[in-house]
Amino acid sequence: MTKKHNAQAADPRVVVKDLTITNRFGIHARPAALFVRTASRFTCDIEVEKDGSTVSAKSIMGLLTLEGSQGTILRIRAKGDDAREAVAALQELVEKKFYED
Amino acid sequence: MAVTVAQFLEAGRDPLALELAAGKRHLRKTIHEEALNRPGLALAGFFQYFAHRRIQVFGLAESAYLKSLSGTERQTRIRQFFEKQIPCVVVTRGRHVFPEIEQLAEKFRVPVLKSALITSRFINEATIIMENLTAPEMRMQGTMVDIMGIGVALEGSPGIGKSETALTLIERGHSLVADDITVLRRDSSGRVIGSAVPITRYHMEIRGLGIIHVPSLFGVASVRPEMRLDVIVRLHRPDPRIEDDRTGFAQQSREVLGVKIPVITLPVAAGRDLAHVVEVAALNLRLKQLGHDAAKELDEKLMATLARRGG
């Protein structure tokens, strides 16, 4: 795992970040829509992984299938020129609890 | 493969009329073989070929036999049976569970389940459930539809129009299997079966509309719970670097769970009726499978004509 992280860190166009869902109801429809809208502002490919399931961060249905409840850790993996900005924007959204609660 | 007894109980609750009789705390025990076993001979004391890693099914014969034994004898036999470290016991026909079984199950940490079905039916249905639970599985980013009995998975980057294409296909009378995320598993006969993730099943997300429930809008015939995967259709934006198949000779394919699935790559151009092209692609594949290869047949005719003229 560490090795993989290092390999990815070597490529500046790849950003990996673990985010913990803290809002009470987790990733239900509205947060998923906000997440997708934010992710779609960027051109990079963004994947979200939970328990071995990987979906596109630009797909609402995909995010809903992850069933991300409060306390879930999502691994965000962005690849592309604006990967850093994209991950920062998603991190802010998750940390601000999708402007809920 | 490792299925827990809890997973088996959950999957079989309705179809097998299955319930827990004893050993609630041991439901995390794992089942390492998908076949089921009737332990008649083991109960009679013959352990040489005892398939102890399987689910042990107590039917009428087992119950009647245990009943015929004296109290101490029964206790001994059931103890010997449990000492073999079995994953779980199922008592069929809704029969009552011998108190010795309940006690020893607790002692040896084995869950005991009860089914209302008769034994032969239970074994048939439970075998299928175990096969499904142990089938190799993966998720793919793609929308799956059933086009006249042909299972088609649409894939492509976000926003390319997978869901919109599926929506048009539904309007034309085809059925949705899964939108955006398709769960694929390989069944015991080596076919790849697609289905939706239960939580989002039969829902779609259409840009500008949001989330819709397909059967409410288009009727129950517009969806189906699962479908064999026959072909993958890749949608991509026109790109001079990607060579599209202009003749239909080159049959691309991809290994999915160890099974070769044909892949068709379609460029998405503005104004192109993609749903129609996908429909024809599915039909054409069916035709090929029936032994008619339009591209090949035309070419053979052409070559025959050219050979005549050339001579």
For residues B154 and B105, state if they share a domain: no
A1, pLDDT greater than 50: no
- Contact between chains at A59 and B158 (C-beta distance less than 8 A): yes
pLDDT (tens digit per residue) in B57-82: 999 999 999 999 998 999 999 999 99
- Contact between chains at A54 and B179 (C-beta distance less than 8 A): no
CATH number of the domain encompassing residue B178: 3.40.50.300
The ipTM is: 0.73
Candidates A45, A53, A65; nearest CB to B200: A65
Number of domains in chain B: 2
CATH number of the domain encompassing residue B113: 3.40.1390.20
Domains of chain A, first to last? 2-99 (3.30.1340.10)
Q: How far apart are CA B196 and CA B164, in angstroms?
A: 17
pTM over 0.80, yes/no: no
Which pLDDT does position B114 carry in this prediction? 95
Mutation choice for A interface testing from B160, B181, B195 by most A CBs within 10 A: B181
List phi, psi (to 5°) of B294.
-55, -45
The percentage of residues in chain B with a pLDDT greater than 70, rounded to a whole number, is 98
In a domain, B108, yes or no: yes
pLDDT (tens digit per residue) in B26-55: 999 999 898 999 999 999 999 999 999 999
pLDDT (tens digit per residue) in A73-90: 999 999 999 999 999 999
B182, pLDDT greater than 90: yes
Question: Do residues B229 and B261 lie in contact, with contact meaning Cβ atoms separated by under 8 Å?
Answer: yes
Which pLDDT does position B290 carry in this prediction? 83
For A64, the closest chain B residue by CA position comes to B200
The region of weakest confidence among A14-18, B63-67, B131-135, B216-220 is B131-135
Q: Read off the pLDDT band of B195 (50, 70, 90).
A: very high
Which pLDDT does position B1 carry in this prediction? 59
- Cβ-based neighbours of B247, under 8 Å, separated by 6 or more: B295, B299
- Contact between chains at B181 and A59 (C-beta distance less than 8 A): yes
Q: Read off the pLDDT band of B218 (50, 70, 90).
A: very high
pLDDT (tens digit per residue) in B223-262: 999 999 999 999 988 877 777 777 766 678 999 999 999 9
Question: Do residues B26 and B110 lie in contact, with contact meaning Cβ atoms separated by under 8 Å?
Answer: yes
CB count, 10 Å around CB of B204? 26
For residues B74 and B18, state if they share a domain: yes
